[in-house]
Structure 1
Amino acid sequence: MTDPAAGGPAPVRILVCDDHVVVRAGLLALLDSAPGIEVVGEAGTGEEALALAARLAPDVVLMDLQLGAGIDGVETTRRLTAGTPAPGAGRAPYVLVLTTYDTDADITRAIEAGATGYLLKAERPEELFAAIHAAAQGRTALSGPVAGRVMAGLRRPRPALTDRERDILAQLATGLGNREIARALFISEATVKTHLRRIYGKLGVETRAGAVAVAKEQRLLP
């Protein structure tokens, strides 16, 4: 990116999306002092971020994960990265997640949705600025703790599920109950319950929601 008028690199155009007004104001003040960064808009909801991105064509969207009512940061990220670029933009914006949440499930969901980077709000300003510039070039930017979790997840052996257990887990992820799963797979409800107990044991969870979360985290679902 170059600035034709100045003959140097153009500033990275940023759209900030965070539902907390005070946090958003702090980010705007911080980014205003950053070299080579220009904030072109701010949004408090995912829907607002989508509308502004379509109109303003930012290079990078700084995205919180939890956005209150409406679609969350993960779904907003998915729509931003998969959508049609704004008029005049050569591509869809890159998304850099900035959040307080660092669970394996949150990290996995954000990256699978298309996020270029994942930072924690505890990062130093210099780290944030560097990550924004990296994201604007399409390079991955991860906080140290996040990178550690990603590497640990890659090294962790996946549970050895049978084909039938994977079928049931996939049905479980769609929100079906035991009876509906039994009908879909042409097995008895008792068989479904038996398989679920085995799945819970292999994944180290005790609930349906826990099983789905771990399955997504470890990419066990199709």
Structure 2
Amino acid sequence: MNQTLSTERWLLIDDHTMFADAMSLTLRHLAPQLEIDVAANAQQAIAQLKNGQTYQCILIDLDLPDTPGLALLDQILKRWPQSVVLICSANRQPSSVTNAQQLGARGFITKDQSPADILAFVQQIRQGRRWITTDTLTRELAERREENIDLTGRQHAILQQMQTGLSTSEIAQALNLSPNTIKTHTRLMYGKLGVSNRTECLNRAAELGLI
């Protein structure tokens, strides 16, 4: 049986096509289980949500062409209150950050953060953080990257294969190793990274710049 990652779907609401396309492509490369829909304005975003599509994460730019991002945030959370919504914007004025938090956003990240940092951002929220900002994340990631994570060459190779979504047996075949050897190295790698499953492993590796 293939041990594939469970699919997640995110919604990126941003009218800057080049940014949205580049962000979507890189996020999918870092986390192959992600499927990312893009809406260029508030009207498109609301239409997709009304169609019944469920999103595990929604990223909103503050400067949208038809509706202010904060107004869209408020509208989404009033109609779909269980949504995990983050602001992802070049606008980092303190008042915008404060207003986003008061309206119920789970975090505020600026567009100069890397896609790997955004994955780490969402992982922090899933681990129970109610609110996180770019400044907090940057400081914490810098501290984490100072940690010495010493993966072996074989573990690095397995990690690279994991990133493509291959199952344990497929990785074993690709690396000409037995499935039990792959499982042993995977278990050791999980211990070094402080994770318990493949999704956490890939997110943690991305945080640390290992992939």
Once residues 104 and 57 of structure 1 are traced to their aligned partners in structure 2, the CA distance between those partners, rounded to angstroms, is: 31
For 1:17, the equivalent position in structure 2 comes to: 13
Verify: 1:94 aligned to 2:84, yes or no: yes
In the alignment, which of 75, 78, 86 is matched to residue 74 of structure 2?
78
CA RMSD of aligned residues (A): 2.7
Equivalent residues in 2 for 1:42-57, closer than 5 Å: 42-55=38-51, 56-57=53-54
TM-score, with normalisation over the residues of structure 1?
0.54
Cα offset, 1:141, TM superposition = 2.9
Q: Does 1:109 align with 2:109?
A: no
CA distance in 1, matches of 2:2, 2:86: 27
CA distance in 1, matches of 2:135, 2:127: 20
Give the drift of 1:118: 0.6
Shift of 1:6: 6.2
The residue that corresponds to 1:169 in the other structure is none
1:155-205 deviation per Cα after TM superposition (whole angstroms, max 9, x unaligned): xxxxxxxxxxxxxxxxxxxxxxxxxxxxxxxxxxxxxxxxxxxxxxxxxxx
Superposed displacement of residue 34, structure 1: 2.1
Cα 1:6/1:62, change in 2 over 3 Å = farther
What CA distance in whole angstroms lies between the structure 1 residues aligned with 2:128 and 2:42? 22
Normalising by structure 2, we get a TM-score of: 0.57
C-alpha separation in 2, matches of 1:137 and 1:72: 29
Alignment of 1:1-222 (within 5 A): 10-35=6-31, 37-55=33-51, 56-68=53-65, 70-84=66-80, 92-136=82-126, 139=129, 140-144=131-135
Q: Relative to 1, partners in 2 of residues 1:119 and 1:30: Cα closer, same or farther, differing over 3 Å?
A: same
Please, which runs of 5 or more residues in structure 1 have no aligned partner?
85-90, 149-222
Residue 58 of structure 1, CA deviation? 0.5
Shift of 1:147: 9.3
Write the letter of the residue equivalent to 1:12.
Answer: E
Amino-acid identity (%)? 20
Cα distance in structure 2, aligned partners of 1:63 and 1:138: 21
Gaps of 5+ in 2: 140-211
Report the structure number with the largest CA radius of gyration: 1
C-alpha separation in 1, matches of 2:118 and 2:7:
15
Distance in 2, matches of 1:120 and 1:133, equals: 17
